[in-house]
Structure 1
Amino acid sequence: MDMLELLRKLPEEIEEAIEFDVPYFDEKPPRIFLGGMGGSAISGDVAKLVMSDLDIPFEIIRDYRLPAYAGKKDILIASSYSGNTEESLSLYEDGLSRNMKILVITSGGKLLQLAQKNNNFYVKIPSGFPPRTALGYLFTPIVMTCVKSGFVGHHHIENLKKLPDFMRNLHKEFESVDSLPLEIAKKLYFRFPIIYTSRRMYPVGLRWKAQINENAKAFAHIMDFPEMNHNEIAGIKNPKERVEALWAIFMEDVDDYERIKLRFRHTMDLIKDSVMGITHILSRGNSIAERVFYLIYLGDYVSYYLAKLYNEDPVAIPRIDELKRRLSK
């Protein structure tokens, strides 16, 4: 399985997933919870970010239990690509015990069996891929369900339909010998990436971190603004020899609050003499969906090139597999 081919197929995933037969909810809930881990949880983060007109509290749960205030009028989206993620299964059982309205998104496994047994809504997505390369399959049904249920506007469908061609047009650019993702990967090689975003764009930074971790087997750190300016900015000093190995990445979106943009500029100036270097990235695209996926796709390619520089297999995740094996005993 070739990671580059898996990255290239993300636009096709979104096109396919737009055609999925997704369910709808006939009542607006007080809250929506999405329970999942890794790529499944990121899909909820990204959906929430893209659906900026959603006026229902939408909370991503990366744990075994729902919060005490989750109740039967709320919706639980239980997401697990494999269908066997133990945290997602635990959250599903918790939601079921509270008589919540449940939607399952999975490719199979125990979660699909439980959804079918208990007559829950479910969307069965294609199987056989590493979960982190199935973002299109995991993300799109969330948005489509919210549109179909009347929770957000129909313009999101039009934005999703334009997204695959927008992303395909990035292939040549991102795969050229002097591409931006390759340039960034070279800067991160043998350095410690620290990724900064606004609070609203935090899911994009989290995707970058996770992809660098899993694909390149490399450490990465993320922090959001303005919180960074109230603590971390003071810590980018010691130990000096470690801080000098940091490479800071600032990701900015046009819709970020103006004070956040101002904080970015001043922070870059204040830390530039302490860190190895700084890369400032601006989002691109005509819609929030395009801008978000431009940054996500850029990060996916960065992690791929960084894996190649470290001579790592970007598909294999031996430590995660071994941990799951030990936990299954």
Structure 2
Amino acid sequence: MGKEINLDSQDMKKAIDQLPSQIAEAYKMGDYIRVDKPVDKIVIIGMGGSAIAGDILQSYIANVPVTVIRDYNIPDWIDEKTLVFASSYSGNTEETISAYREARKKKALIVVITSGGRLLKLAQDEKTQIVLIPKFMQPRNAVAYMFFPMLSALENAKLLKSQDTAVRQTINALKKEGYEKIAKDLLEKNYNKIPIIYSSNKFSSIAYRWKTQFNENAKVMAFSHAFPELDHNAIMGFEHLIGHFHVIFLKSDLDHKRIQKRMDITEKLIRRKTTVTSLNIKGENYLSQLFTAIHIGDLTTYFLALRYRIDPSPVDYIEELKKEMGPYL
């Protein structure tokens, strides 16, 4: 794949490989965020790659309700006791700007996470707390910068105990070798196939991340679903299967024992109709399992793009759509 690397016009591979150092840097970025009033719920406003971090936080946090909003409007229940993270990598995401303005009117406690744009200007003018993250990468490659400042901010708010050990173990896990081999094996299994990613609810944010990375990096259709719900509907789609699919099971020893059994039985059943890969997620803790799984997915979809002789970085349809939408006031 040596010559094919020239297809990578924006050096996405470098951004993927820098995930451990990005986590170390990003975890410190929320240190100065202060939450000086009672909070009983957390909301993340964002779209696309900027919202994925919210999905991961929603999976990771168990002691406070966490909601991810991908829309122009916010629910009526947001109030002064709501901690809102308004996340837009570019700072120009119109849905996020609209929702941010509504959250301001409701006097929610807001933290803006961005690299610039209109959202940064609004936050500066309104003296909203800001986490300013690095520019010059695709938003989907900034997942560490969108997630870990929230983690440290929640520590400051006493909503989360210190994550120092978990973060350190996650960084060390990502420095290990072998991820590229797993990714290259997976890409061949998914070549000229439609990927379907299955996981438990505990890892549904990661399954969805894989799905969107297949969409944006490799420019292919992909789907994700979670156990146990998929055993009550989606499994029947394999009885009269139309199309060429490859199913990826993301499995973890942290999953409920009954979920693990469901996965094994479901895998056995659908192997009658299509090809399957069962990936056992490793890690010393939940956080390290989440981010090693993200890393494998990012590498797999990157290498699949090169296999298709596609530049993984540009998202031409998205940019064309934004242009036709015109400016948002």
Deviations 1:227-267 (A, max 9, x none): 101111112122x442xx11111111111111111110111
After superposition, where does 1:238-317 map in structure 2 within 5 Å? 238=240, 240-242=241-243, 245-275=244-274, 277-317=275-315
Which residue, out of 144, 162, 175, partners 2:169?
A: 162
Residue type of the partner of 1:264?
A: M
Once residues 58 and 89 of structure 1 are traced to their aligned partners in structure 2, the CA distance between those partners, rounded to angstroms, is 20
Figure out how many residues of one structure are paired with residues of the other and give that number: 317
Matching residue within 11, 24, 28 for 1:15 = 24
Does residue 184 of structure 2 align to residue 174 of structure 1? no
Paired residues for 1:132-281 under 5 Å: 132-154=140-162, 156-170=163-177, 173-175=178-180, 179-238=181-240, 240-242=241-243, 245-275=244-274, 277-281=275-279
2:95 to 87, 93, 115: 87
TM-score, length basis structure 1: 0.93
Q: Residues 193 and 221 of structure 1 are in contact (CA less than 8 Å); yes or no, is this contact kept in structure 2?
A: yes
Q: Deviations over 1:42-87 (max 9, x none)?
A: 1112223334xx4110101111111121122211110000100011
- Output the amino acid matched with 1:157: D
**2 CA distance for matches of 1:55 and 1:223?**
25
- d(CA) in 2 for partners of 1:234 and 1:281? 22
The corresponding residue for 2:64 is 56
Contact 1:252–1:282 (CA under 8 A) maintained in structure 2: yes
Instruction: Give the match for residue 101 of structure 1.
Output: 109
In 1, distance between residues paired with 2:209 and 2:32?
A: 25
1:323 match: 321
For residues 191 and 40 of structure 2, the distance between their equivalents in structure 1, rounded to whole angstroms, comes to: 46
One-letter amino acid of the counterpart of residue 70, structure 1: I
Which structure has more RCO (C-alpha within 8 Å, separation ≥ 6)? 2
RMSD, matched Cα? 1.3
More displaced 10-residue stretch of structure 1: 1-10 or 202-211: 1-10
Q: Is the 8 A contact 1:28 1:151 kept in 2?
A: no
Partner-residue secondary structure (3-state), 1:94: helix
Alignment check: 8 A CA contact 2:201 2:227 kept: yes
Separation in 2, partners of 1:69, 1:12: 38
Residue type of the partner of 1:40? Answer: S
Partner SS for 2:303:
helix
Given that residues 63 and 87 in structure 1 are in contact (C-alpha distance below 8 angstroms), is that contact kept between their aligned partners in structure 2?
yes
Specify every segment of 5 or more residues in structure 2 that has no aligned partner in the other structure, as ranges: 1-9
Q: Is the 8 A contact 1:144 1:157 kept in 2?
A: no
1:28 and 1:144 map into 2 onto residues whose CA distance is 17
In structure 2, distance between residues paired with 1:268 and 1:70: 41
| TM-score, scaled to structure 2 | 0.93
> 1:124-154 CA deviation, whole Å, 9 max, x = no partner?
1111111011111111100000011100111
Task: Tell me, in whole angstroms, the C-alpha distance in 2 between the residues paired with 1:48 and 1:188.
Answer: 29
Identity of aligned residues (%): 34
Correspondence for 1:38: 48
Residue identity opposite 1:258 in structure 2: K
Q: CA deviation at 1:174?
A: 2.7
Q: Which residue of 1 aligns with 2:86?
A: 78
SS in 1 for 2:322: helix
Amino acid at match of 1:62: R
